[in-house]
Structure 1
Amino acid sequence: MASPVAEAIINAAPTLHPYYPRHLVMDHYVPNTNSMMETLVKMFAVFGTIISGSLLLSRRKRQSTIRGLGNQLTFVWFVMCGFIHLGLEGYFGIYHKTLAGMNTPLAQVWKEYSISDSRYLTSDSFVLIMERITAFAWGPLAFYVAYAQYHNLPSRYIIQLIISLGQIYGNVLYYCTTLIEGAPHGDPHPYYYYFYFVHFNAWWIVVPGILLFNAIKNLHRAVAASSAPASCPVSKKHK
């Protein structure tokens, strides 16, 4: 049995963890039970299932805006956004205070990603607010855009514009709020910085940028068509 002095030293010692900054106190942290590779393989397997299922669903619709590879990929994108925003980011928004001590599948994904940005395990106010807006606003709206595209509803491009602009804005702020401080919250190793922090988030700037342009182009075309003067039929003169 440990002496009172030894117990006091053990209790006073900071919990070892892989996160930055290294002096970060995280008393409730427990290591993942899955390895990095296991966590990523399981995550990408789920993503692959969602992508395959939504792509097959999009090909069942043989008319209107769902036709063509570009429109099918747009449909897949918004279905994926719905699942990621509501499922993964919504999970963070609810369990952010206890994530570091949890080992559920989604908690382990967040703990692995947090090596590149520990703000997710410290309930950082900006990250928490940004992720909750993303989860509970953009998540349901992403599913709606996919539904609207599938059924060729005219509201599709309006919501597509709103979501895409919001995703770009949120990610630019997400990058800038840590980069302006010198990115102190992440492991500086190139794998974690470029693959986790830069790569995973860049998708939500590049793709929404393309879809924002697409929405503006289609809305402009619709407004131009509705504003065009109606052509009057030319009456024939009888001789």
Structure 2
Amino acid sequence: MSDLAEVFSKTSAFSLGGVVTLGTVAYLAAKAWLPKSARWQDKYVFIWLAFDALIHFIFEGSFLWLSVFGRTVNTSTGPFAEMWKEYTKADFRWGVSDPTVVSLELLTVLGAGPLCCYILYQLIKNDPARHYWIVVLSTAEIYGGWMTFCPEWITGSENLSTSNVLHLWVYLFLMNFIWVIIPVLLMVDSYINISGALRSVQAASKSKKGL
């Protein structure tokens, strides 16, 4: 196992500090905009979706910009380029504008990001229709995670670096696993709400017919 001190650079601190900052902004946004009467589950959903949107627009949006207009991360300069160069130490594909990765990020930044914002608006308005869109968003994000790593697993993970604890457990595992487990939990919560509402309607309909 590599010495953590050898890879935990100023760029590492900047990157991880940026993630914490966006999480803090999401938490403050929930306190400011979400009604106090909201379910405790919805408060966590709001924080996650606000964080999710910020990550998509700022971090992944910068990757998309560098990959489309800057050609590649590896040939670009600037703070966001340096941040992504740090991530390429764990996954080489992000530095060379891999077509699969760029295609997924196009959907993430232009599709998932705006959808997060729309669901946040629905949460503020307490619109139950949000549960449908939460399922759509969560399905897309789980699929995105699958398509990011499944091709690598099939081909022997040639582009992944797992020899360093920071690269493996923070960059590759933690920063990707949360986009699987949290969407799964959101889908479960939305399923409970959708199925419960439909069963209530069904029971009410049967009750009327029995009169």
Range into which the TM-score falls when normalised by the shorter chain: 0.7 to 0.9
Give the AA of the match of 2:192: K
| Equivalent residues in 2 for 1:75-94, closer than 5 Å | 75-94=46-65
Give, in whole Å, the separation in 2 of the partners of 1:181 and 1:194. Answer: 21
Cα pair 2:22 2:55 within 8 Å, conserved: no
Unaligned runs of 5+ in 1: 1-34, 233-239
Alpha-carbon RMSD across the aligned residues, in angstroms, is: 2.1
Q: Confirm whether residue 189 of structure 1 aligns to residue 160 of structure 2.
A: no
> Could you say what secondary structure the match of 1:178 adopts?
helix
| Equivalent residues in 2 for 1:130-145, closer than 5 Å | 130-145=104-119
Give, in whole Å, the separation in 2 of the partners of 1:205 and 1:199. Answer: 10
Give, in whole Å, the separation in 1 of the partners of 2:21 and 2:97. Answer: 31
The normalised TM-score by structure 1 is 0.75
Give, in whole Å, the separation in 2 of the partners of 1:124 and 1:226. Answer: 48
| Equivalent residues in 2 for 1:82-231, closer than 5 Å | 82-96=53-67, 97-191=71-165, 192-230=167-205, 231=207
What is the match of residue 53 of structure 1?
Answer: 25
Query: What do the CA deviations read for 1:158-199 (whole angstroms, capped 9, x no partner)?
Result: 111001011111111211111111111122313223321122
Give, in whole Å, the separation in 2 of the partners of 1:141 and 1:158. Answer: 11
Give, in whole Å, the separation in 2 of the partners of 1:59 and 1:92. Answer: 30
What is the match of residue 3 of structure 2?
Answer: none
Paired positions, count: 197
Q: 1:108 offset after TM fit, Å?
A: 1.3
Give, in whole Å, the separation in 2 of the partners of 1:163 and 1:219. Answer: 15
Larger Rg: 1
Q: Which structure: greater helix fraction?
A: 2
The normalised TM-score by structure 2 is 0.84
Q: 1:41 offset after TM fit, Å?
A: 2.3
Query: What do the CA deviations read for 1:193-226 (whole angstroms, capped 9, x no partner)?
Result: 3321122111111111111111111111122222
> Could you say what secondary structure the match of 1:99 adopts?
coil
**Share of identical aligned residues, percent?**
26
Q: 1:132 to 1:150 in 2, by over 3 A?
A: same
Query: What do the CA deviations read for 1:63-93 (whole angstroms, capped 9, x no partner)?
Result: 44x342x322211110011011122112222
Cα pair 2:35 2:124 within 8 Å, conserved: no
Give, in whole Å, the separation in 2 of the partners of 1:172 and 1:140. Answer: 21
Which deviates further from its counterpart, 197-206 or 146-155?
146-155
What is the match of residue 44 of structure 1?
Answer: 16
Q: 1:140 offset after TM fit, Å?
A: 0.8
Cα pair 1:89 1:132 within 8 Å, conserved: no
